[in-house]
């Protein structure tokens, strides 16, 4: 095996990790006392061409762009072994969730654009039929594939891995996606949820075999108790199976497939997207899109980068606050002084778009980088706009998306005079 051929690098401190030898989830220097560096790992890239295959499963079609695949090949697993791995997980997903991963539909929605007063050509990528009903499963499939490659290739980073449970703090789409993927991968999962989690979500998690821990706030404790309990579990040896790049770099990478699909669909339609409006909570979705579009542009699938517009609600907009504080400062400075730019939102937010109320935009740095490189910026929309987008999507499309899922559209509608081609992602189903 040629060890070290795939590398992960931290954008904050420059630390590098060989994923054959150590888990490239969280930067090894994160949580150093007194350190204000924004530590997030990302895989190195080496491909010179965009995959030309026509496979319908994105984890097969774009395999050459995925670090677990590259790791598998460097470890002398065959291309066929990877395809077998993805297809056997896909068959398990179909048994667990009634569907596996397939390229999801994207289409122009002229009637919706008209109803929203949007002048440009509006394209909607529909993730509501994706595994577990949202894009979140893409994040976690990336992680599961890496874990399985470690096992199959018997790589040192995989030693003792099966004895360790997966862990996630969430009570929404991410938890459901984690439970579906963990079940398909036959890996035990702990989900850390708040006392007021939706009973239906709790029941589904239990049905999928997840172990639930209800996290009450402890006296004098600051921060989200679910995140704190999950981090404690990880410190005791659990495998982080969440959807934030700060906790698991592989999660961001898995959702790049969404951008690859969009880029290819735009190329096939002979249009180039000018703007992409994306709803932002923890920021992993926008980070994955920024990275995926950058790769697609570098490899010639997109003629230029679409402007990345990060949409937050007025009730909770830590990314937009960071953007304002960053005015004129370099990305290097941002990475070295995280707390000057990103800190938890002080007020307890409420919104119909409940999935984008993360009190911190954990993956803010990569989203800021994506916005700067593409000429985009953050946008804040009010509740009325969130509600209007949600209702319009229901009335003028066949897609049953949640208010979180349509929040990007609210951003697009806040700039109605933009011409050109506009993309939004209906990222999650209405449950």
Q: How far is the CB of 163 from ligand PLP (least distance, A)?
A: 30
Tracing tokens 């959702």 back to the chain, one arrives at 255
User: Considering the rule CB under 6 A, would residue 174 count as an interface residue with ligand PLP?
Assistant: yes
Task: Work out how close the CB of 126 gets to ligand PLP at its nearest, in angstroms, rounded to a whole number.
Answer: 12
Closest distance to ligand PLP from the beta carbon of 170 (Å): 7
Query: CA–CA separation, 227 vs 22, rounded Å?
Result: 23
- Pick the closer one to ligand PLP by CB: 264 or 363: 363
User: Which of 51, 120, 172, 292: binder of ligand PLP (CB under 6 A)?
Assistant: 172
Strand partners, 137: none
C-beta closer to ligand PLP: residue 148 or 320: 320
Report the residue number, 140 or 150, with the smaller CB distance to ligand PLP: 140
Stretch that binds ligand PLP, among 9-17, 105-113, 231-239, 397-405 (CB under 6 A): 397-405
Of 261-280, binders to ligand PLP (CB under 6 A) are 279-280
Sheet with 16-17: list strands edge to edge. Answer: 16-17, 8-10, 41-43
Distances (CA, A) of 314 to 74, 165, 317, 320, 345: 47, 37, 6, 10, 11
Q: Which of 51, 242, 282, 315 binds ligand PLP (CB under 6 A)?
A: 282
405 belongs to the binding site for ligand PLP (CB under 6 A) = yes
The first and second tokens of residue 30, run together, are: 């994160």
Under rule CB under 6 A, residue 289 binds ligand PLP: no
Residue 302: CB minimum distance to ligand PLP, A: 22
- For ligand PLP, give the closer residue by CB, 58 or 133: 133
- State the residue number with the nearest CB to ligand PLP: 428
Q: Which residues contact 300 (CB under 8 A, 6 or more apart)?
A: 50
- The residue among 172 and 411 lying less far from ligand PLP, judged by its C-beta, is 172
355 lies in the binding site for ligand PLP (CB under 6 A): yes
For residue 257, report the phi and psi dihedrals to the nearest 5 degrees: -55, -30
Q: Mark out the alpha helices in 317-402 (DSSP H runs).
A: 318-326, 331-336, 364-374, 383-396
- Tell me 210's DSSP state: P
Q: With binding defined as CB under 6 A, does residue 356 bind ligand PLP?
A: yes
Q: How far is the CB of 5 from ligand PLP (least distance, A)?
A: 29
Rounded Cα–Cα distance for residues 134 and 233 (Å) = 26
Token output for 90: 């896909």
Select from 21, 25, 1 the least CA-distant residue to 10: 25
Q: Closer to ligand PLP by CB, 28 or 194: give it.
A: 194
Compute the distance between CA of residue 342 and CA of residue 372 in angstroms, rounded to an integer. 17
Q: Which residues bind ligand PLP (CB under 6 A)?
A: 134, 172-174, 243, 279-286, 355-356, 358, 402, 404-405, 427-428
């Amino acid at each position: 095996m040629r060890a070290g051929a795939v590398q992960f690098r931290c954008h904050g401190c420059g630390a590098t990790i060989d994923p054959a030898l150590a888990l490239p989830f969280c930067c090894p220097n994160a949580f150093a006392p007194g350190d204000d560096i924004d530590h997030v790992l990302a895989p190195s890239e080496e491909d010179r061409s965009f995959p030309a295959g026509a496979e319908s499963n994105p984890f097969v079609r774009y395999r050459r762009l995925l670090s677990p695949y590259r790791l598998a090949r460097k470890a002398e697993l065959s291309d066929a072994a990877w395809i077998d791995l993805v297809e056997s997980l896909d068959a398990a997903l179909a048994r667990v969730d009634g569907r596996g991963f397939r390229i999801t539909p994207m289409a122009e929605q002229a009637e919706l654009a008209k109803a929203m007063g949007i002048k440009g050509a509006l394209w909607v990528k529909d993730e509501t039929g994706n595994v577990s009903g949202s894009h979140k499963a893409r994040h976690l499939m990336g992680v599961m594939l890496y874990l399985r490659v470690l096992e199959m290739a018997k790589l040192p980073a995989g030693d003792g891995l099966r004895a360790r449970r997966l862990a996630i703090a969430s009570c929404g789409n991410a938890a459901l996606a984690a439970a579906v993927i963990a079940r398909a991968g036959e890996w035990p999962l702990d989900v850390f949820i708040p006392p007021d989690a939706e009973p239906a979500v709790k029941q589904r998690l239990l049905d999928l075999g997840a172990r639930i821990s209800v996290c009450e706030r402890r006296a004098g404790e600051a921060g989200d108790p679910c995140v704190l309990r999950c981090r404690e579990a990880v410190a005791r040896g659990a495998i982080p199976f969440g959807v934030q790049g700060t906790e698991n770099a592989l999660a961001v990478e898995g959702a790049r497939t969404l951008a690859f699909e969009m880029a290819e669909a735009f190329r096939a339609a002979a249009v180039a997207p000018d703007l992409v409006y994306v709803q932002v909570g923890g920021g992993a979705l926008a980070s994955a899109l920024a990275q995926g579009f950058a790769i697609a542009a570098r490899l010639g699938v997109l003629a230029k980068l679409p402007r990345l517009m990060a949409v937050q609600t007025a009730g909770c907009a830590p990314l937009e606050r960071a953007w304002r504080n960053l005015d004129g400062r370099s990305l290097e400075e941002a990475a070295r002084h995280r707390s000057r730019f990103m800190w938890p939102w002080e007020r307890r937010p409420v919104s119909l778009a409940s999935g984008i109320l993360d009190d911190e935009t954990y993956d803010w740095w990569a989203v800021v980088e994506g916005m700067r490189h593409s000429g985009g910026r953050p946008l804040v929309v009010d509740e009325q706009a969130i509600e209007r987008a949600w209702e319009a999507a229901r009335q003028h499309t066949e897609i049953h998306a949640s208010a979180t899922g349509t929040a990007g559209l609210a951003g697009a509608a806040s700039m109605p005079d933009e011409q050109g081609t506009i993309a939004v992602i209906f990222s999650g189903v209405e449950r």
